[in-house]
Structure 1
Amino acid sequence: MIRWLLFILVYLLICLYTLQALRSGTRLPWIHYLYIAITLLVLGNFVYQFTWGEAEGRVLSRPKSYAFGFLLAVLTFNLITMIFLFSEDIFRVLVAGYHKVLGGKGEFSLPGRRRFLSLLALGVASLPFGALLYGMYRGKYNFKVLKYELEFKDLPLAFHGYRITQISDVHSGSFDNWPRISYGVDLINQQESDVIFFTGDLVNNKASEMDPWKDLFSRLRAPDGVYSILGNHDYGDYVEWESEELKAQNLEDLKALQREMGFDLLLNEHRYLQRGDDRIALVGVENWGRGGFKKAGDLRQATQGIRENDFKILLSHDPSHWEDKVIHDPMHFHLTLSGHTHGMQFGIEIPGLVKWSPVKWRYRYWAGIYEELGQFINVNRGFGFLGYPGRVGIWPEITVITLKKTGLT
């Protein structure tokens, strides 16, 4: 309770700064009252959703997610405005002190706020505020197809030109727009790749979250099939289950659901993709993540029966697995496909110029193609979203990778 009271107090103090900027920038009272109403409504909804409105323990439900999203947008607006005004306050105090000590006035009197600076603060703050609202309204379904060509000296000849489509991090429990998700699924099929790989996190917490969407994702088709693995959210670890039996049953339900949709789920095992006499080893491991994430992935078990000189593609949800274990493994995995990071769903990307997200401070390999020790990884930015119910600058991704044999056109 004390934490909530402290949070509310800090929130209101930050909002007071923005209210001062509004009063300096405009003398229209209705704007001031509208701002007060919005900030209190957003605060009240957030407190309600995460206290009395909490229905499923730690589960981040859709109402909670939107309450967090609106609070984030309002807080961002207020904090940026406060930075401008607080900087001005420092200047005002220095000026007042100068006049009192050195100016001979004998009194401490703060200069008035400058209207121009208040308007500038509000203008700058409105940019990320608008971007966060846009990300919640449209950005989260702004699907992008990213295409890469990767060359390998030892790629089997029959697989020259082989096309892979990768999706990751569906997080179906967050979906709220059937037409847009249907469009995304159709966009995957339109790539007409030879095979489709899904690299984990089908749900947020429970297998039942996928029930409204399973028929839609059952439409995914590729000549060589649809293969999948589990991500950290698929195990139900973030739910306060009544018993371990219910948790275990949820995982079994999710596995059965994937198979019902036509996904070939790889659980620390492998398959071979065949083209005539040539073949590629497809290896799929369970989740393995650095830190407190589940470490169920087992490369040794998954590669039993695979020859060391086979061309190998690895599906592993968390890119920290590639960094910590895979690239140093003697089996030499030519290409690893991961997800997990979502690119934090927020950042700035201008192809060839800028690629930045705060998530880079947590994950060295956080989005796109990387190469180390003659091995490649693609970290997919994710198809869905979690937490903040939107995306800004880091759009939902469908990856298409074409394999090439070095020296051939």
Structure 2
Amino acid sequence: MPSRRQVLTGLAAGAGITAATGVYALDIEPLHRLVVTSYAPTLPRWDPSLQLRVAVLADFHICEPFMPFDRVAQIVEATNALESDLVLLLGDYPAGRIAWRKLPLDQFARMMTELKAPLGTHAILGNHDWWDDHTVQRNGRGVPAVRRLLEAQGIPVLENRAVRLVKDGRPFWLAGLGDQQPFFDAWNTFSLADLPRTLDPITDSAPVILMAHEPDIFVAVPDRVSLTLAGHTHGGQIRLFGHAPAIRKVQGHDYSYGHVIQDGRHMIVSGGFGMSRIPVRMGVPPEIVLLELGKTDAVTAAS
């Protein structure tokens, strides 16, 4: 039998570990860590002569104290240091219920113009961009304020449409879906995502990159799309031994985080930066996703 001193020592050690874990999950990982996660996948229907470097930013959830503007500035600076050809924003710019203090979206939109890439910055909307716009929610229609603010700053917001871009004389398509859960009270029954309408303008053989905030749509994405990019899940916010207990599977598939290959189709789900529901991140540090497409060495790495 252990002695009284051994029991007390064990309890103290357990309490210390619990406290340290709480500090890490509440403060260190979500507020002070920032990693670059790089992917160089070999994609179907990709032009091998098209080498494209893409920075993907997801789920800012700006607010105080969890995503203040100095943190946004840090992310912008780190993204610019990657010298990407293209920057993609995958939605969920405001914070939702965890915010102690909401921050002005017009200032956030201006900060996004500081992102530098020859092919520009392009965006889609996420569910919180709709949910946090009370005018839209009340009326059941309209355009979320953050879309107007981003577009006023010259950042295209793709909603069920595609644009044709060219890098070094090589064309590709960038497509963006409408959000799949735009109205809070009917989030599981109503979707603005229209895949056929989005892909209809694509009439040539150039590669297609599809931006979708929620990864659930991947079950329906056709083979024509070379790569789907998604956010929304925050990697589960808490990942234990590579698994996210809080994220449900979609038709038996785990779409919570990382590089997903299903029936020869490819999707990369970003862990993003921010938080929702609870202000905790554990095992999935805030990340900038860096895609290096068209390279022959298909390696996935995190730093």
TM-score (norm 1): 0.62
Counterpart among 256, 259, 267 of residue 148 in structure 2 = 256
Report the Cα distance in structure 2 between the residues aligned to 1:260 and 1:225, rounded to whole angstroms: 15
Percentage identity across paired residues of the two chains: 25
Matched, 1:384 2:260: no
**Equivalence for 2:292:** 402
Query: Does the 8 Å contact 1:157/1:278 carry over to 2?
Result: no
Instruction: Render the CA deviation track for 1:255-309: whole Å, top value 9, x for unaligned.
Output: 1111133321001000011135531111100112597274110001111221274
Query: 1:314 maps to what in 2?
Result: 210
1:400 aligns to what SS in structure 2? strand
SS, match of residue 210 in structure 2: strand
CA contact (8 A) 1:205 1:235 kept: no
Q: CA deviation at 1:248?
A: 4.5
Where does 1:347-366 land on structure 2 (aligned, <5 Å)? 347-348=239-240, 354-362=241-249, 364-366=254-256
8 A Cα contact 1:155 1:405, kept in partner: no
Change (3 A) 1:186 1:239: closer
Q: Does 1:155 align with 2:37?
A: no
Bigger helix share = 1
Cα offset, 1:243, TM superposition: 7.6
In 2, Cα distance between the equivalents of 1:223 and 1:277?
14
* Structure 1 unaligned spans of 5+: 1-87, 89-112, 349-353
Distance 2:174 2:149 in 1: 21
Instruction: Give the gaps of 5 or more residues in structure 2.
Output: 299-303
Partner in structure 2 of residue 337 of structure 1: 229
Amino acid at match of 2:276: L
Superimposed CA distance per residue, residues 57-94 of structure 1 (whole angstroms, 9 cap, x where no aligned partner)? xxxxxxxxxxxxxxxxxxxxxxxxxxxxxxx9xxxxxx
Go from structure 1 to structure 2 and tell me whether the alpha carbon gap of 1:262 and 1:200 turns closer, same or farther (over 3 Å shift).
same
Matches within 5 A, 1:116-265: 116-141=6-31, 142-152=33-43, 154-159=45-50, 161-174=51-64, 175-205=66-96, 209-236=104-131, 244-245=138-139, 248=141, 251-265=143-157
Matched-pair contact (CA < 8 Å) for 2:236–2:257: no
CA distance in 2, matches of 1:259, 1:379: 25
Determine whether 1:272 maps to 2:167: no
Cα distance between partner residues in 2 of 1:385 and 1:114: 42
What is the TM-score when the length of structure 2 is the normalising length? 0.82
Relative to 1, partners in 2 of residues 1:128 and 1:341: Cα closer, same or farther, differing over 3 Å? farther
Relative to structure 1, is the Cα distance of residues 226 and 186 closer, same or farther in structure 2, using a 3 angstrom cutoff? same
How far 1:333 sits from its partner (Å)? 1.3
1:282 match: secondary structure: strand
Give, as a single letter, the amino acid of the residue that structure 2 aligns with 1:262: G
Q: Does 1:281 align with 2:173?
A: yes
The answer to whether the 8 Å contact 1:132/1:392 transfers is no
170-179 vs 394-403, greater mean Cα deviation = 170-179
2:278 and 2:201 mapped to 1: Cα distance? 43
Q: Is the 8 A contact 2:175 2:209 kept in 1?
A: yes
SS at match of 1:356: coil
User: How many pairs were matched up?
Assistant: 285
Cα distance, 1:132 vs structure 2: 2.0
Q: CA deviation at 1:235?
A: 0.8
Higher relative contact order (CA 8 A, sep 6+): 2
1:295 aligns with 2:295: no
Give the Cα separation in 1 of the matches to 2:246 and 2:93.
21
- 1:70 is matched with none
One-letter amino acid of the counterpart of residue 148, structure 2:
A
Kindly tell me: are residues 261 and 128 of structure 1, through their superposed partners in 2, closer, same or farther at Cα, counting changes over 3 Å? farther
Residue 118 of structure 1, CA deviation = 4.2
Amino acid paired to 1:318? E
